[in-house]
Amino acid sequence: MTLPSDLEIAREAAPEPVARIAERIGIGAELVEPYGDGVAKIRLGALDPAGPLGSRPRAKYVVVTAVTPTPLGEGKTTVTVGLGDGLNRIGRSTAVAIRQPSMGPVFGIKGGAAGGGYSQVVPMERLNLHLTGDIHAVGAANNLLAALLDNHLFRGNPLDIDTDTVSLRRALDINDRALRTIDTAVGPASEGEQRRTGFDITAASEVMALLALARSLPDLRERLGRIIVAEDRAGRPVTAEALGAAGAMAAVLREAAKPNLMQTLEHTPALVHTGPFGNIATGNSSVIADLIGLRAAEFLVTEAGFGADMGAERFFNIKCRVSGEAPDAAVVVATVRALKAHSGRYTVTAGRPLPDEMLKENPEDVRVGGANLLKQIENCRLHGVTPVVAVNAFPTDHASEIEAVRDLAAEAGVRSAVCTNVADGGEGARDLAAAVAEAAEEPSHYAPLYPLDASLKEKVETVARAVYGASGVSYSERAERQLRSCERNGLGTLPVCIAKTHLSLSSDPALRGAPTGWTLPVREVRPSAGAGFVYLICGSMQTMPGLGRTPAALGIDLDDQGRITGMY
Amino acid sequence: MTLPSDLEIAREAAPEPVARIAERIGIGAELVEPYGDGVAKIRLGALDPAGPLGSRPRAKYVVVTAVTPTPLGEGKTTVTVGLGDGLNRIGRSTAVAIRQPSMGPVFGIKGGAAGGGYSQVVPMERLNLHLTGDIHAVGAANNLLAALLDNHLFRGNPLDIDTDTVSLRRALDINDRALRTIDTAVGPASEGEQRRTGFDITAASEVMALLALARSLPDLRERLGRIIVAEDRAGRPVTAEALGAAGAMAAVLREAAKPNLMQTLEHTPALVHTGPFGNIATGNSSVIADLIGLRAAEFLVTEAGFGADMGAERFFNIKCRVSGEAPDAAVVVATVRALKAHSGRYTVTAGRPLPDEMLKENPEDVRVGGANLLKQIENCRLHGVTPVVAVNAFPTDHASEIEAVRDLAAEAGVRSAVCTNVADGGEGARDLAAAVAEAAEEPSHYAPLYPLDASLKEKVETVARAVYGASGVSYSERAERQLRSCERNGLGTLPVCIAKTHLSLSSDPALRGAPTGWTLPVREVRPSAGAGFVYLICGSMQTMPGLGRTPAALGIDLDDQGRITGMY
């Protein structure tokens, strides 16, 4: 089977006017701001309980998660899109919610991130480049805060900030390793005092995490004020509010707070909004987009990053707690190749084709690696949510291997379906759609895994043991100190976001399947007081990617009709 | 006279749907892409000679320039807007073209830049913040080039770039002095080799200058390829094309190449596009916007930055040469306060009120300072263009002083009119509109001041003597060397852009009026091969502003209805 390229497929699409897409889910013209070809923003009046959407019934809320992925990804976005299209095909009005891809990786390794094959969000060129500028706005708000902070230091430092404690970094939506660690103001004294800092990719900034978790514009404004940028010399947190920056930051983000509306190739409405990192942040699209989507269609399918131990865990324990919305079903995407990799017998590397050995028929490997699937199924059930397994079929899969995945699901008492939507569009996700519709009819017993009044350590311990399968948690001295400081500063009642590798249920990317008998090592603890969580760093987290030997940018150009080429 | 604040006035505006604004100047729905409330982009099909605008008669082309301004500015944008409104009021269909303001200074000293009083472009909040994201796109394209350059060095430097010659800097739309000079990659070796560089405000980047001078998307693509980022170790220029970056940069800029359409408070169409710096670049809005505007209305009023020696000189010798369009009239904005300041008897400081002494009735000071006005009038005539003096009246002006300005114009044989449009809207610019309409009927004898095949030194000499009133030009050794290098690299046939202070006709900001007997000192010469000019640095140019003691950002916020406050 050879599919045309994503770009070729996307170009042949016949998108509907985006206002008609909105209308189909009850979002009238008064709530829609067209924003260039094929894209609109939805006004925040859509959140108003007294507004046109306020009295509508709430949609069924479906989160799409996955087994622990290989570095190639398991097609969670394509399944999200395919499921949306499939539900619409079986007559259930559905919208999907996805994150806005970062532009940095588009020019790095990925070349694009809008789904794939016949399960794409269009126009893909706009989704991959700027869209409506929200990510740039997030960067601008973050960098305005940084400039105001450095200006505060330059102007005599009236807040008595301890410059050694400055945690705020600058942000750009780019892959640029040279900016990871920089010294600023190394010129004449008129530039201020030299300081060591760096840039993160904008998706890794707290402002992005915060925008994704805000419930409304006033809530956004308050959260911005709570961002902690440093400590003063007495050890007290210094906030964006104290610097006087939060109001201007909110002004910078006013348009970015409105979700973007696009469509799939089959005209399913796609809410695209925010793109927080999946390790140090939630890896989920925005609360605002979901709150609107839940009042619009009959089903809202939303995607959570990485495996169920990562994005879905934060979905259950952070995002849903903020939104107050309970999910009705969780789709766990599994692939034959991922489960084979979880057998521990193969190595899969990003940017390289699968090893030949792995393409041979071997259902036994699937069963061995299936331990990971079973754990991720359990991770949904732990939060009271009914899982459905989606087997995302690849042309290289063997029938016996796909059957092995379905057998695992059946043994766990879970519905399953095979998806061929990348090749077949929504038609290839009809079975999944039917299974999800059924599962969502079961009563939801959703509940977060831990109470907020537990100590931060108790929260970490709970997630580590119950979700990751760890036998315990260890803390560096620094982490212990930082934990105490968080509790002292009144941040002990926040949920936790554990930043570990996404390539293993454990904190060691080399451990496949569902490893047990290991200890989670917490190296550092940092407050994201504005976003509303404390994050714990377990392992080394790269917050500014670099470019590879042959960046995708080198192959991207315009053709003689001004169309973008080389993006896939 | 107390006017309501700009923001209050803007909020009371009743803007028309932007599609109707477009239609009024013959730009049909097929050429308009709505981009959020009150803003649209115009598709580049509007440039097509075979398209809907191709067969329309060409508008009269009016450039608005000024006397040498005080640090407070003389209201060139308000006169541009007022003149547009005034021409429409006297029944001449008119569009205006202005630059997009940088966001950096909005949070620094200015708080906003959308005109003022009853001569504003709306919605002012969007004009001041992001608009449609073009400036961010320019920064992203620039920074992609920088990341690809550093990655090239990191990957073994196959082009044999001499790292000491890297001239490309990174860009952000912010006022942030700490970023003026930075050391990158100061962390572990995996980040690459430490290098000294810095950030400019995006308006100062060559990509911005280039976007403003591109005639079409293919022309933009070619210009991007010609950007010189460094030299190799043999002294040959290394371009963005050689780095393989230009195609991806063009993709990043595809939407930004389309001009933005907004409106004045009186519904005059306003083309807002690009915002290159006025010292090291052209300080004019885009060629593309003007080419479209010239096929749309009966009059196109476009603004050139700073005094007639600065923006208008580049308009005549760079921009019009690129566009192939000849201006029909030049409006020279003069204020009583500027001419008084040019008497040399007062000091005007940015961010401070005028000295009390200066508010006293003193037409004699106006006449003394009037030497500056006479020289700037001559600077228009030097290029064969008929000047019209617009006296931008302030409430503190005395009638005798305004009369003194008009007398100066009359003595020079130039039409003049008093403008009160800031207080009165377009009605206050009716006289100016009538004078301009008359002047534009005279045959244009427009011609650039120098031929392109003159040497770079001859070009500089010509501008310095004829336009600035210098008695000669001196070159540093470095500048001499750089000049030879430019000529050797085939850049000798480019026009010149002389970066000097905008606060004097001379290169010394302290010299008022129309100083003579001085020498222009060229310190450095740099190619903007992509933009298409060579720029010569005379004095110290600040390409990254800083924030003041009390940045405007501290006063900006959202109110409880989500509206922006504190922007003026």
Q: Do both B355 and B311 map to the same domain? A: yes
Mean pLDDT of A258-286: 96
Domain end residue (candidates: B441, B474, B507): B441
Does residue B387 form part of some domain? yes
For the cut 70, the answer to whether the pLDDT of residue B110 exceeds it is: no
Closest Cα to residue B381, out of B320, B330, B439?
Answer: B330
Q: What is the pLDDT of residue B111?
A: 55
Binding-site residues of B: 70-77
pLDDT above 70 covers a percentage of chain B that reads: 99
Q: How far apart are CA A79 and CA B305, in angstroms?
A: 53
Which of A129, A185, A557 minimises the CB distance to B181? A185
Q: Do both B272 and B413 map to the same domain? A: yes
Q: Which CATH number is B308's domain given? A: 3.40.50.300
For the cut 70, the answer to whether the pLDDT of residue B112 exceeds it is: no
Q: Which CATH number is A195's domain given? A: 3.30.1510.10
Per-residue pLDDT tens for B5-39?
887 888 788 899 999 999 999 999 999 999 999 99
Q: Do both A348 and A427 map to the same domain? A: yes
Q: What is the pLDDT of residue A457?
A: 98
User: Distances from the Cα of B472 to the Cαs of A57, A300, B378, B462, B463, in angstroms?
Assistant: 79, 72, 19, 9, 10
Q: Are B338 and B72 in contact (CB under 8 A)?
A: no
The count of other CB atoms within 10 Å of the CB of residue B189 is: 8
Q: Are B504 and B464 in contact (CB under 8 A)?
A: no
Closest Cα to residue A108, out of A565, A557, A562, A550?
Answer: A550
pLDDT above 70 covers a percentage of chain A that reads: 99
Listed in order, strand segments (DSSP E) in B398-481 are: 415-419, 472-475
Q: Are A138 and A202 in contact (CB under 8 A)?
A: yes
Q: Do both B358 and B436 map to the same domain? A: yes
| Contact residues, chain B, for A183 at CB < 8 Å | 182-183, 186
Mean pLDDT of A474-485: 97
Q: Do both B306 and B377 map to the same domain? A: yes
For the cut 80, the answer to whether the pLDDT of residue B414 exceeds it is: yes
Q: Which CATH number is A493's domain given? A: 3.10.410.10
Q: What is the pLDDT of residue A110?
A: 64
For tokens 């020019």, what's the residue?
A107
Burial of A476 by CB count in 10 Å (0-12 exposed, 13-18 middle, 19+ buried)? middle
Does residue B45 form part of some domain? yes
Mutate to test the interface with B, among A43, A176, A201, A255 (most CBs of B within 10 A): A176
Contact B221 A549 (CB under 8 A): no
> Which residues, listed in sequence order, are joined to residue B522 by a DSSP beta bridge?
B475
Mean pLDDT of B181-198: 95
- Per the document, the length of chain B is 568
Per-residue pLDDT tens for B445-455?
999 999 999 99
Mean pLDDT of B139-157: 98
For the cut 90, the answer to whether the pLDDT of residue B352 exceeds it is: no
Q: How would residue A111 be classed by pLDDT, with cut points 50, 70 and 90?
A: low
Q: Are B267 and B14 in contact (CB under 8 A)?
A: no
For the cut 90, the answer to whether the pLDDT of residue A205 exceeds it is: yes
Contact A133 B132 (CB under 8 A): yes
Task: Name the residue type at position B457.
Answer: K
Residue B497 in 3-state DSSP? strand
Q: Which is more confident, B313 or B52? A: B313
Of the candidate ranges A555-559, B8-12, B498-502, the one whose mean pLDDT is the lowest: B8-12
Q: What is the pLDDT of residue B372?
A: 98
Contact B251 A558 (CB under 8 A): yes
Mean pLDDT of B339-362: 91
Q: What is the pLDDT of residue B173?
A: 98
Burial of B453 by CB count in 10 Å (0-12 exposed, 13-18 middle, 19+ buried)? exposed
Which of B33, B181, B558 minimises the CB distance to A254? B558
Q: Do both B287 and B363 map to the same domain? A: yes
Q: What is the pLDDT of residue B8?
A: 82
Q: Round the average pLDDT of chain B to a whole number and report it.
A: 95
B117 conformational bin, left if phi > 0, alpha if psi -120 to 50, beta if neither = left
> Which residues, listed in sequence order, are joined to residue B387 by a DSSP beta bridge?
B330
Burial of B562 by CB count in 10 Å (0-12 exposed, 13-18 middle, 19+ buried)? middle
Closest Cα to residue B122, out of B21, B249, B231?
Answer: B21
> Which residues, listed in sequence order, are joined to residue B284 by a DSSP beta bridge?
B304
Per-residue pLDDT tens for A61-102?
999 999 999 988 899 999 999 999 999 999 999 999 999 999
Per-residue pLDDT tens for A240-250?
999 999 999 99
For the cut 80, the answer to whether the pLDDT of residue B157 exceeds it is: yes
Q: How far apart are CA B29 and CA B427, in angstroms?
A: 30
Show the domain range for A488: 456-537
Q: What is the pLDDT of residue A112?
A: 62
Q: What is the pLDDT of residue A13?
A: 83
Residue B314 in 3-state DSSP? helix
Domain end residue (candidates: B203, B236, B253): B253
Q: How far apart are CA A551 and CA A106, in angstroms?
A: 9
Binding-site residues of B for ATP: 70-77
| Contact residues, chain B, for A170 at CB < 8 Å | 179
Per-residue pLDDT tens for B237-293?
999 999 999 999 999 999 999 999 999 999 999 999 999 999 899 999 999 999 999
Residue B152 forms contact with A (CB below 8 Å)? no
Does residue B394 form part of some domain? yes
Work out the end-to-end distance of chain A between its first and last CA atoms, rounded to an integer number of angstroms: 18
Residue A109 in 3-state DSSP? coil
Q: Do both B42 and B156 map to the same domain? A: no
Q: Do both B313 and B418 map to the same domain? A: yes
Contact A174 B140 (CB under 8 A): yes
Contact B174 A198 (CB under 8 A): no
Q: Which of residues 209-238 of A touch B (CB under 8 A)?
A: 217-218, 221
Task: Name the residue type at position A532.
Answer: G
For the cut 70, the answer to whether the pLDDT of residue B459 exceeds it is: yes
Closest Cα to residue A436, out of A98, A56, A89, A60?
Answer: A60
Q: How far is residue B515 CA from its own chain's centroid?
A: 24
Listed in order, strand segments (DSSP E) in A402-555 are: 415-419, 472-475, 496-499, 519-522, 524-528, 533-537
Q: How far apart are CA B552 and CA B566, in angstroms?
A: 8
For the cut 90, the answer to whether the pLDDT of residue B482 exceeds it is: yes
Q: Do both B264 and B398 map to the same domain? A: yes
CA pseudo-torsion sign A501, A504, A508, A514? positive
Residue B19 forms contact with A (CB below 8 Å)? no
Does residue B545 form part of some domain? no
For tokens 């600077």, what's the residue?
B379
Domain end residue (candidates: A252, A270, A294): A252
Q: Do both B394 and B261 map to the same domain? A: yes
Q: How far apart are CA B110 and CA B12, in angstroms?
A: 22
Per-residue pLDDT tens for A11-35?
788 899 999 999 999 999 999 999 9
Q: Do both A464 and A514 map to the same domain? A: yes
Does residue A447 form part of some domain? no
Q: Phi and psi dihedrals of A269, rounded to 5?
A: -60, 135
Per-residue pLDDT tens for A420-455?
999 999 999 999 999 999 999 999 999 999 999 999
| Contact residues, chain A, for B217 at CB < 8 Å | 558, 562
Which of B174, B218, B566 minimises the CB distance to A143? B174
Count of domains in chain A?
A: 3
Q: How far apart are CA B542 and CA B180, in angstroms?
A: 9
Does residue B568 form part of some domain? no
Does residue A284 form part of some domain? yes
Q: Do both B148 and B129 map to the same domain? A: no
- Per the document, the length of chain A is 568
Q: How far apart are CA A544 and CA A306, in angstroms?
A: 18
Does residue B551 form part of some domain? no
Per-residue pLDDT tens for B43-79?
999 999 999 899 999 999 999 999 999 988 899 999 9
Mean pLDDT of B462-478: 98
Mean pLDDT of B382-408: 97
Closest Cα to residue A430, out of A208, A266, A238, A218?
Answer: A266
User: Distances from the Cα of B149 to the Cαs of A150, A180, B152, B153, in angstroms?
Assistant: 28, 16, 5, 6
| Contact residues, chain B, for A107 at CB < 8 Å | 144, 147, 248
Q: Round the average pLDDT of chain A to a whole number and report it.
A: 95
Q: Are B81 and B13 in contact (CB under 8 A)?
A: no
Per-residue pLDDT tens for A496-541?
999 999 999 999 999 999 999 999 999 999 999 999 999 999 988 8
Q: Are B318 and B49 in contact (CB under 8 A)?
A: no
Contact A136 B132 (CB under 8 A): no
Per-residue pLDDT tens for A115-144?
889 999 999 999 999 999 999 999 999 999
Mean pLDDT of A208-236: 97
For chain A, the helix, strand and coil percentages under 3-state DSSP, each to the nearest 5: 40, 20, 45
